[in-house]
A and B are shown apart, each in its own frame.
With several copies, the nearest count.
Chain A
Amino acid sequence: MDKLNLELYKKLYLVRRAEEEIIKCYFDDEMKTPMHMSMGEEAIAVGICHALKDDDQVFGTYRSHAIYLAKTGDVEDFFAEIYGKDTALLKGKGGSMHLCSPDNGFMGSSAIVASAIPVAVGAAFANKMAGNGRIVTVFFGDGAIDEGVFWESLNAACLWKLPVIFVCEDNELAVHTPKSLRHGYRSISSIVADFNCRVFKEESTDVETIYRLAEKAIGAVRGSGGPCFLDLRYYRYLEHVGVSEDFKSGYRSREEFEKWRKKDPVEQQRKKLIKKRIKEEELDKIEDGIAERLINSMKAAQSAPFPGAGEIEKEVL
């Protein structure tokens, strides 16, 4: 049996299903936090996070459901947080945009575009000083590379040869604005390759391909000590923020979506497993198990208490 591909699928399914559950409940208006959905990018998040060790570290953006779930394995805390409940690690202070689980190597996510990138570089510096072998991976979008701080951070990581992997999750959009209206160059990969940085580019939605690529990048970081840059393409299924489709708003076409949908990372991986002769019933059972866990933790989150007013001024300093 192909254990790797099954494990990858489990994570893909978990991520996808978690967001489907969110969609089902979002209009109940109990999750009062802006949702930036991961749908479409699951292969990147799962492929990379699966290649990382438990104590490797990850930083994300407001669009971090997938990487959070893939990195941490947590579900219970996740739902409690987006429901804003006292049972969550952050007690609802962060919400969907600010997930954080340091013990599981998820070091936080920021809703200011590009602002976690230098933090990741500093975290990598600390790891290097500690000699703990940990790798830091920071995820960001193709919009983040517009920001000066991306360039400053890239330069510093290359200069100091820090063990950090920059992952640009390129959906060609910043909110609704295409790259063509934002970038005065053809290819970010070829620019970054002129820095002291290894670059890997990939457009696949196959999680195994991403996983292998991540292994290569991790190897390169461990080998050289210096950074890598992953330029990975995906298609954002839903609107920028919110849980609905938005193909009618005119800035992109449903046809494009349909093209990507044909190579949907989750379905594709399921098909691959079946081709590899994993029984469909077995998969169904696995999926049901995951779904049960998700639904239960969601219910637990729904019925959990809110934090008390005293929480507001705690942990400020």
Chain B
Amino acid sequence: MGGSRKISYCKAINEALIQEMERDPRVFTYGIGVPDHKRIFGSTDGLVERFGPERCFDTPLSEDAMTGFGLGAAINGLRPIHVHMRVDFMLLAMNQLANMVSSYRYASAGELSVPMVIRAIIGRGWGQSFQHSKTMHSCFAHIPGLRVVMPTTPAEAKGMLIASIREDSPVIFIEHRWLYYAEDEVPEEPFTLPLEKAAVLRPGKDITIVATSWMNIEALEAADILNKRHGVSAEIVNARAIAPLDDGVIVDSARKTGHCIVADNDWLHCGFSAEIAARVSEKCFGSLKSPVSRIGFAPAPCPCTRPLENCFYPSAVNIIKTAEKTLKLKEADLSEEVFYSYEHKFKGPF
């Protein structure tokens, strides 16, 4: 067993790809721009050099056919990894995803399986507007036969990507662009993490914050401030598995704290936040001391201009204010707080 060292989320993805492609010659990575010099923000670095253009290649701009293509390759024994620079482009492939990929195994009563990974990048870039800002995990998760995961930490990125590649059913693997630079301890050796379970990111006892993807970062900041300003100990549950979902960790936490906020990187209506709120409300009925609240995108297409973009995306501030309301605390004056506002660091385009 090798040791571990701090690497970025991006590097963790890259390492998972290289180690799995090394281990298993059936794995290949493809998609628009995958081998170009930008290398999907660096995440596909070195693949084409190591594995050649047969196992790492660019495609026409044909998301729908390229998804079906992966499906065909998968049922014939390969293990495709299809990459989308933006999850929004997967909407062009919704038919293949929901009518074909999701049901091919079922349609063959298990004679054929679909070991396919679809990597999609999400996230607030920088003035991206309404066509480059969706998350869509709830829509994918709604379709039985598709796995959906959203790793937050570098170790999750590596462990869950390896698990996804080794998995025999299709996995939609959703990566937040802003997390690419996050660094943390990641084992050098290949390893896997479960694809169906949430994980406690920060233990606490007074209130549960269930967060997806980047919202975990906002939740960590919120938890610090809640602790500092109110002495509140928030437990953050990282909902890294979207579907299928073993909700045990989430339900246990909410039952323990009696309060639950869901902070999703998405719109609320009919979203994953509703699923969590529904399950927590049902399974913790009687143990909850307050109703479950939800935080997410503003109910609008994402606008371009910065001040409106700031209103669109939920943040640590929203979490703090919601927690204060939930716990009936006096609103802290946050004007002195310096928030980790990533958008100031991030220079365009995306």
A289-317 vs B: 1/0 string, CB under 8 Å?
Answer: 00000000000000000110101111111
List residues of A (238-263) whose CB comes within 8 Å of B's CBs: 241-242, 249-251
A110-B131, A127-B76 known; A102 and B60 CB under 8 Å? Answer: no
The answer on a CB contact under 8 Å between A241 and B349 is yes
- Of A13-21, A30-38, A67-75, A207-215, the stretch lying at the interface with chain B is A30-38
- Taking CB as reference atom, which chain B residue is nearest A177? B58
A112 and B95 contact, Cβ closer than 8 Å, known pairs A95-B127, A119-B100: yes
A52 at the interface (CB under 8 A from B): no
Answer whether A149 and B65 are a contact pair too, CB < 8 Å, given A84-B127, A306-B307, A313-B300. Answer: yes
B200 at the interface (CB under 8 A from A): no
- The answer to whether A152 touches B65 (Cβ under 8 A) is yes
Some 9 contacts from A to B, beta carbons below 8 A apart, are A90-B109, A92-B303, A112-B89, A112-B95, A126-B73, A149-B64, A156-B59, A156-B65, A309-B308
Knowing A91-B305, A92-B308, A107-B75 are in contact, say whether A32-B127 is a contact too (CB < 8 A).
yes
- In the bound complex, do residue A102 and residue B111 qualify as a contact, i.e. CB atoms below 8 Å apart? yes
Closest to B77 in A: A126
Q: Of A115, A147, A241, A311, which is within 8 A of B303 by CB? A: A311
CB-CB nearest 10 A-B residue pairs: A122-B72, A118-B68, A84-B305, A92-B305, A95-B304, A152-B65, A126-B76, A34-B349, A152-B62, A122-B69
User: Is B335 interfacial (CB-CB < 8 Å)?
Assistant: no
> B277: shortest Cβ distance to chain A, in Å?
22
In the assembled complex, the Cα of A174 lies from the Cα of B85 at a distance in Å of 14
The verdict on B67 contacting chain A, using a C-beta distance below 8 Å, is yes
Whether B153 is near chain A, meaning CB under 8 Å from some CB there, is no
- Whether B68 contacts A121 by the Cβ 8 Å rule is yes
User: Do the beta carbons of B60 and A317 come within 8 Å of each other?
Assistant: no
Task: Decide: A100 near B108, CB < 8 A? Known: A34-B349, A126-B73, A155-B62.
Answer: yes
Q: Are B306 and A84 in contact (CB under 8 A)?
A: yes
Contacts of A314 in B (CB 8 A): 109-110
Asked whether B106 is an interface residue with its Cβ less than 8 Å from the other chain, the reply is yes
Interface positions, chain A 99-150, Cβ under 8 Å from B, are 100, 102-103, 107-108, 110-127, 129-130, 136, 143-144, 146-149
Tally of B interface residues using CB under 8 Å:
73
The contact of A147 among B61, B70, B107, by CB within 8 Å, is B61
Is the Cβ of B308 less than 8 Å from the Cβ of A242?
Answer: no
Residue of B nearest to A150 (CB): B65
Chain B residues engaging chain A, CB cutoff 8 angstroms: 32-33, 36-38, 54, 58-78, 80, 88-89, 92, 95-96, 99-100, 104-112, 125-132, 144-145, 147, 169, 244, 298-301, 303-308, 311-312, 347-350
A256-277 CB mask vs B (1 if < 8 Å, else 0) is 0000000000000000000000
B88 neighbours in A (Cβ, 8 Å): 112
Residue of A with least CB distance to B307 = A306
Residues of A within 8 A of B64 (CB): 118, 148-149, 152
A163 to chain B, nearest CB (A): 12
Contact between chains at B36 and A176 (CB < 8 Å): yes
How far, in whole Å, are A307 and B106 apart by their CA atoms in the complex?
14
B126 and A108 contacting across the interface, CB-CB below 8 Å: no
Q: Which of B61, B96, B108 contacts A108 (CB 8 A)?
A: B108
Sort chain A's interface into a size bin. 35 or more
Name the A residues within 8 Å of B111 (CB-CB).
89, 100, 102-103
Least distance between B317 CB and chain A CB atoms (Å): 13
Confirm or deny: A1 has a beta carbon within 8 angstroms of a beta carbon on chain B: no
Q: Give the CA-CA distance A317 to B172 in the complex, in Å.
A: 13
Closest residue on chain A to residue B125 by CB atoms: A34
Which residues does chain B contribute within 8 Å of A89, judged by CB atoms?
109, 111
A11 contacts partner chain B, Cβ-Cβ < 8 Å: no
**In the complex, A312 Cα to B169 Cα: how many Å?**
17
Given the complex of chains A and B, what is the CA–CA distance between A277 and B74 in angstroms?
49
The answer to whether B131 and A316 touch across the interface, beta carbons within 8 angstroms, is no
Task: Give the nearest-CB partner of B304 in chain A.
Answer: A95
Closest Cβ–Cβ distance, residue A206 to chain B (whole Å): 29
* Contact (A115, B96) CB under 8 Å given A146-B61, A156-B60, A316-B299: yes
- Give Cα distance in the complex from A147 to B64, angstroms: 8
With a cutoff of 8 Å between Cβ atoms, the chain B residues found around residue A191 in the complex are: none
New A-B contacts (8) at CB < 8 Å, excluding given A118-B71, A147-B63: A33-B127, A97-B304, A98-B107, A98-B130, A112-B88, A112-B92, A118-B65, A312-B300
A64 partner residues in chain B, CB cutoff 8 A: none
In the bound complex, residues from chain B placing their C-beta under 8 Å from that of A108 are 75, 104, 107-108, 112
Complex CA gap A100/B104 in Å reads 10
- Which residue on chain B has the smallest CB distance to residue A95? B304
A89 to chain B, nearest CB (A): 6
Contacts of B54 in A (CB 8 A): 129
Q: Report Cα–Cα, A288/B70, bound state, in Å.
A: 44
Query: Nearest Cβ in chain B — how far from A192, in angstroms?
Result: 15
Q: Are A317 and B32 CB-contacts (below 8 A) given A118-B65, A126-B76, A126-B78?
A: no
Measured CA separation A176–B85 after assembly (Å): 14
Closest partner residue, chain B, to A109 (CB atom): B107
| Contact of A111 with B132 at beta-carbon distance under 8 Å, contacts A148-B65, A159-B60, A317-B169 already known | yes
A230, chain B: closest CB distance, angstroms: 19
Residue pair B37, A249 in contact (C-beta under 8 Å): yes
Q: Are B304 and A114 in contact (CB-based, < 8 A)?
A: no
Measured in the bound complex, the distance between the Cα atoms of B126 and A127 in whole Å is: 37
Name A93's contact: one of B38, B68, B92, B305 (CB within 8 Å).
B305
Chain A contacts for B104, CB-based, 8 A: 108
User: Is A183 interfacial (CB-CB < 8 Å)?
Assistant: yes
Alpha-carbon distance between A111 and B106 when the two chains are bound, in angstroms: 15
User: B168 to nearest A CB, angstroms?
Assistant: 8
Q: How far is the CB of B223 from chain A (nearest CB, A)?
A: 26
User: With contacts A34-B125, A84-B127, A123-B76 known, is A316 near B300, CB below 8 A?
Assistant: yes
